[in-house]
Amino acid sequence: MSTVKLAVIGGDGIGPEVTAEALKVLEVAAPAGVTFEQTTYDLGAERYLATGEVLPDTVLEEIRGHDAILLGAVGGKPNDPNLPPGILERGLLLRLRFELDHYVNLRPSKIYPGAVSPLANPGDVDFVVVREGTEGPYTGNGGALRVGTPAEIATEVSVNTAYGVERVVRDAFARAQRRPRKKLTLVHKTNVLVHAGAVWWRLTQQVAAEFPEVSVDYMHVDAAMIFLTTDPARFDVIVTDNLFGDIVTDLAAAITGGIGLAASGNVNPDRTAPSMFEPVHGSAPDIAGQQKADPTAAILSVALLLDHLGHPDAAGAVEAAAIADLADRTPAAPRRTAEVGDAIASRLG
């Protein structure tokens, strides 16, 4: 018998609804003898608007004591004047990623049955983006002078350390090694960002020597835009920096049939802190509380969570159930959020 301490952050908008379905599925999917003990944390736009708190240090420390985190979505109404831009992103989402050292931001891209790709001929798409999660232009480094005047200057500093790059590159190689095609593509912009590019390039070459079976490819981020839309099937594992990863993974989600199905893991591979799993989509406040949201991305995030916790069979079963459900859908008859969760859970039951 083992107990997994799970921190649950439903968040805002449709976040709590989709998270409820993810938990429903987790319950039936849990391997025999494994119990998930949940603690729910009320964080997000609503809490901020009510209390001014984004992520109190005491809450962060409590969350740190868990084995994993399941997050729904955070974010208030667009352009709410009471929500300063970036406050939840920087203060909650990114703070969790940075404080819990989620240096591997994992985003698989597959075309699931029934999903409609906007591409005419997407081919057989099955790749995973390993996005660096704790450095790059996301550190908040930089600042501004003479703000609000015609003489203003604002900078953003992308920070790239050998320490930070090597560990994420090694993780990406290890994932490529475990996949049938064993192919890794580094995406960067080494011809312009020469300082950062040199570190990424050098460490990719260096770590490649430890994985002789993995074939290595390089692509500028602008060229990656072209190949992702014209030949996405060529990719297997993509490794890239935090900002390029943000951009590439949304394109990847779009070409595979939508952000509504994209799951992600914010992973600390060294397990020095809990990893966090979340759908890529946002809080969609316009449809919140109406049972209209599709919980599939949240449920697929549970599969990533189970895999990370060392239960690949349970993870595979959740993914297979979600896929079977997708294959069975009739677009003309949309189901309620809870109906989708029930349907997937009952396939596992």
Ligand X SMILES: CC(C)[C@H](C(=O)O)[C@@H](O)C(=O)O
Closer residue to ligand X in complex, CB, 91/114:
91
Active-site annotation holds for 246: yes
Q: Residue positions in the annotated binding site for Mg(2+)?
A: 222, 246, 250
Which residue has the closest beta carbon to ligand X? 89
Radius of gyration of the chain (CA): 20
CB of residue 231 to ligand X, shortest distance in Å: 19
Which residue in 17, 73, 20, 76 sits closest to 46, CA to CA?
Answer: 76
CB of residue 151 to ligand X, shortest distance in Å: 27
The single residue among 58, 121, 149, 191 that binds ligand X, judged by CB under 6 A, is: 191
Name residues whose C-beta falls within 8 Å of residue 137's C-beta, 6 or more positions apart in sequence: 156, 157, 158, 241, 242, 243
Is residue 93 at the binding interface for ligand X, with CB under 6 A as the rule?
yes
Catalogue the E-assigned strands of 189-246. 215-220, 237-240
CB of residue 249 to ligand X, shortest distance in Å: 6
From the list 22-30, 88-96, 148-156, 331-339, the region that binds ligand X by CB under 6 A is: 88-96
Closer residue to ligand X in complex, CB, 147/192:
192
From CA 131, how far away is CA 129, in angstroms rounded? 6
End-to-end CA distance of the chain: 20
Q: Catalytic pick from 103, 189, 307, 325? A: 189
Active-site annotation holds for 171: no
Which positions from 154 through 173 interact with a copy of itself, judged by CB under 8 A? 154-163, 166
Q: Catalytic pick from 42, 126, 217, 246? A: 246
Name residues whose C-beta falls within 8 Å of residue 192's C-beta, 6 or more positions apart in sequence: none
- Classify the phi-psi angles of 291: left when phi > 0, otherwise alpha if psi is within -120 to 50, otherwise beta: left
* DSSP state string for 259-316: GGG-EEEEE-TT-SS-EEEEESS---GGGTTTT-S-THHHHHHHHHHHHHTT-HHHHH
Neighbour-count burial of 139, counting CB atoms closer than 10 A to its CB (0-12 exposed, 13-18 middle, 19+ buried): middle
Q: Residue positions in the annotated binding site for substrate?
A: 97, 107, 131, 222
Active-site annotation holds for 103: no
Q: Residue positions in the annotated binding site?
A: 97, 107, 131, 222, 246, 250, 282-294
CB 249 within 8 A of CB 280: yes
Is residue 80 at the binding interface for ligand X, with CB under 6 A as the rule?
no
Active-site annotation holds for 189: yes
Chosen from ligand X, a copy of itself, none, partner binding at 295 (C-beta under 5 to 8 Å by type): none
Name the residues annotated as catalytic: 138, 189, 222, 246, 250
Give the binding site for a copy of itself (CB under 8 A).
85-86, 89-90, 94, 117-121, 137-138, 140-144, 147-163, 166, 189-199, 201-202, 221-223, 225-226, 229-230, 243, 246-247, 249-251, 253-255, 258-259
